[in-house]
Amino acid sequence: MRFIKSHLSLIFPMVAILMGLEFFIAFDRTTKGYEESLKDSYAMLVVAKDEMSIDDFKSWDKHIYKVAEIEKSKIIDKVDLPFKSSDTSNIDKDMPNFYSIKLDKYLNNKELEQVKRNILKSDRVTRVETFDTLHNSNYGLFSSIKLAFQTFILFMTIIGFFLIIKQMEVWNFMHSERMKVMDIFGASLFLRSKALIVMAIVDAIISAIIASIVFYTIQNSWIKGNHIAILEDNIDGLFSIDDLLTLSFASIVIVLIAVFLVVINVKEE
């Protein structure tokens, strides 16, 4: 019973940390998709005196990756003109050129302003419209959700670490006598901590498997059964089999640090 309790005392906080880590990975993967869609639906408008090529734009700012010229006729068609169509050819000639610009990634407000400033450095450009109000509200909402989620994960991780530290104190109490005796008889540091290392690695792998099973179940049973569109769209980003390796690696690193701290705290009698 004591043996099982001792293992569970490590496995529980470790699973909490690993679930936090997996949430972080999954959230990062799914939000990347969302960022991508925000980026695709966003465009800046540039008004220029002369005709310009994509290379001109790219030379002004590295974030510009796609430029589409907006046909003047389409703009004129959308404007309700009170004169005859024959006059539109003169308007067409006098009109500046309009360009819709796509960026390579979803930028924050400050970065957007920098792109605008870089474009306006050219005297051929007369105006740049960033539509930053819409952009900011989307980005603000997105950023605040992300921040709230990351804070929650950080909080979970801190609690997990505290529990692991508590368990390390128990380990220290349980194993220090044996390690002291072994030290007196000339055992190396590795030999003294071998039992602890094996136990810790087994617990770490069990924790990684439990965390993976939880995410696999959420991915394959809970989300599929609930028919929530936004979750179903990002279902592949929630958990992949590679994550099991990532979680195992992370948990082994954490427990080895814990074991090391226990071992160096065992003082000779």
Please state, in angstroms and rounded to a whole number, the distance separating the CA atoms of residues 212 and 19: 8
Nearest CB to other proteins, comparing residues 110 and 267: 267
**Shortest Cβ 166–other proteins spacing (Å):** 21
Give the Cα separation of 38 and 106 in Å (integer): 7
Task: Choose the stretch contacting other proteins; rule: CB under 8 A; options: 59-67, 93-101, 180-188, 215-223.
Answer: 180-188
Q: Least distance (Å) from other proteins to the CB of residue 173?
A: 13
- b/e burial code for range 6-35 (CB count within 10 A of at least 16 → b): bbebbbbbbbbbbbbbbbbbbbebbbeebe
Q: Rank residues 116 and 175 by Cβ distance to other proteins and give the closer one.
A: 175
| Total residues at interface with other proteins (CB under 8 A) | 13
Q: Please report how close the Cβ of residue 65 comes to other proteins at its closest, in angstroms.
A: 59
Between 146 and 180, CB nearer to other proteins: 180
What's the CA dihedral at 140, 141, 142, 146 to 10 degrees?
Answer: 100
Are 45 and 98 spatial neighbours (Cβ–Cβ below 8 Å)? yes
Residue nearer to other proteins on the CB measure, 156 or 196:
196
Between 177 and 232, whose beta carbon lies closer to other proteins? 177
CB of 186 to other proteins, least distance (A): 3
Report the nearest approach of other proteins to the CB of residue 187 (Å). Answer: 5
Q: What are phi and psi of 10, to 5 degrees?
A: -90, -40
Q: Site map for other proteins, 184-223, x if CB under 8 A?
A: xxxxx--x--------------------------------
Interface characters, 139-178, with other proteins (x: CB under 8 A)? --------------------------------------xx
* List 182, 199, 200, 259, residue binding other proteins (CB under 8 A): 182
Residue 182 Cβ, how far from other proteins at the closest point, in Å?
Answer: 7
**Binding footprint of other proteins on the chain (CB under 8 A):** 177-178, 180-182, 184-188, 191, 268-269
